[in-house]
A and B are shown apart, each in its own frame.
Chain A
Amino acid sequence: GQQVMQIPQYQHVQEGEDFTTYCNSSTTLSNIQWYKQRPGGHPVFLIQLVKSGEVKKQKRLTFQFGEAKKNSSLHITATQTTDVGTYFCAGPSSGGSNYKLTFGKGTLLTVNP
């Protein structure tokens, strides 16, 4: 079946440093979604990427979708303590309808103030 792999599993940074997490799918994706989960909380949607090579920015966060639509990355510039949490990527398991998602195992980001 489809697999979605994320690296690294953990990342600890000093406040102000940059952070990147990478996501790789075993199959071509129609789209990819990113979620953030704060400690003790629930996953919250960040963004969806659809087009090959797409780049989207949300303030200090930059999301990329690979040309082959099998990989993606999330880059945070100048991390803040509010960025702490686990970042998940997710791809549709069938048909691109997004009702059946396969999630990566996530990257836990901790930030030292």
Chain B
Amino acid sequence: NAGVTQTPKFQVLKTGQSMTLQCAQDMNHEYMSWYRQDPGMGLRLIHYSVGAGITDQGEVPNGYNVSRSTTEDFPLRLLSAAPSQTSVYFCASSVRGSEQFFGPGTRLTVL
């Protein structure tokens, strides 16, 4: 099992550009989440999904879109990148009532 994979590892964008952060898991987990991590702020939930076709907003959803067409994939789209979106992004997956497995992260810089 590869676990949770994320691509790319690093990305630099210019303000206004759009991009998609990819996340995939091969553990057949129902639940998937996106977090952003900023210095001193811990992990903040952006969007989450409880199954294919079902997504919902977390604590900081503005500027991000998600979709979940398959159990395995949960991409995060930045619609129009802003410097405030410079962060480290983690994808995680889990089964009901259990621990979350995190991917290695994507380090995004928006200039």
Which residues on A are within 8 Å of B, measured CB to CB? 1, 6, 9, 33, 41-45, 48, 88, 90, 93, 96-106
Contact = CB atoms under 8 A, between A and B. Distances in A.
Interface string B90-108: 1010101111111111000
Interface in B27-61: 30-31, 33, 35, 40-45, 48, 50, 58-59
B98 A98 contact: yes
B contact residues, range: 20 to 34
Q: 7 closest A-B pairs (Cβ-Cβ)?
A: A99-B31, A45-B99, A105-B42, A103-B43, A42-B102, A103-B42, A43-B102
Given A42-B102, A43-B102, A104 B42 contact: yes
Interface of B: 30-31, 33, 35, 40-45, 48, 50, 58-59, 90, 92, 94, 96-105
A106 B37 CA distance: 11
Given A42-B103, A42-B105, A43-B102, A88 B96 contact: no
Nearest to B49: A99
Contacts, number: 62
B43 A88 contact: yes
Nearest to B104: A42
A99 B42 contact: no
Nearest to A86: B42
Contacts of B48: 99-100
Contacts of A1: 59
A33 B40 CA distance: 19
Contacts of B90: 42-43
